[in-house]
């Protein structure tokens, strides 16, 4: 176990890390990465955290599954009038969810004082291929 009680600069710390046996080094790296992740999460405000949670929510599985099934039926020209009406309803619902997500992205961009594109890149969100 390594314990540092004195103040050391980055160069000294790296020299100490270089001397660690491989298993200790791997454990150290994992702990440093965990610490980094904790600091990043702690640096988010409550508002930012709530917005990110809302942005990351996907379309509910049951809605997505129904939509996919109806799209397949539409492609095979086997869609009934009732199913067509349901497909329109689901499409509207999905579009509403997407619009809300864009609103949350815009709010987050404003909070962070960044462009919408920058926030989307930060969150690894890619626009649809065709708009």
Give tens-digit pLDDT for 26-70.
888 888 877 776 776 566 778 888 999 999 888 999 999 999 999
Assess if residue 4 is contained within a domain.
no
Assess if residue 1 is contained within a domain.
no
4 pLDDT exceeds 70? no
CA distance 128 to 117: 13
Assess if residue 101 is contained within a domain.
yes
Percent of the chain residues topping a pLDDT of 90: 53
Assess if residue 62 is contained within a domain.
yes
The SS3 assignment for 32 reads: helix
Assess if residue 7 is contained within a domain.
no
Q: How many domains does the chain have?
A: 1
Assess if residue 87 is contained within a domain.
yes
Which structural domain, as residue segments, surrounds residue 58? 14-123
């Amino acid at each position: 176990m390594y314990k540092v009680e004195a103040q050391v600069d980055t160069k000294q710390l790296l020299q100490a890390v270089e001397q660690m046996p491989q298993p200790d080094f791997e454990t150290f790296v994992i702990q440093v990465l965990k610490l980094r992740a904790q600091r990043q999460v702690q640096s988010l405000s409550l508002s930012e955290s709530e917005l990110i949670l809302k942005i990351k929510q996907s379309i509910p599985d049951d809605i997505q599954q129904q939509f996919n099934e109806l799209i397949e039926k539409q492609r095979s020209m086997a869609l009934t009038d009732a199913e067509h009406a349901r497909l329109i309803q689901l499409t509207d619902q999905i579009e509403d969810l997407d619009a809300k997500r864009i609103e949350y992205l815009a709010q987050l961009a404003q909070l962070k004082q960044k462009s919408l594109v920058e926030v989307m890149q930060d969150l690894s969100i890619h626009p649809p291929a065709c708009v």
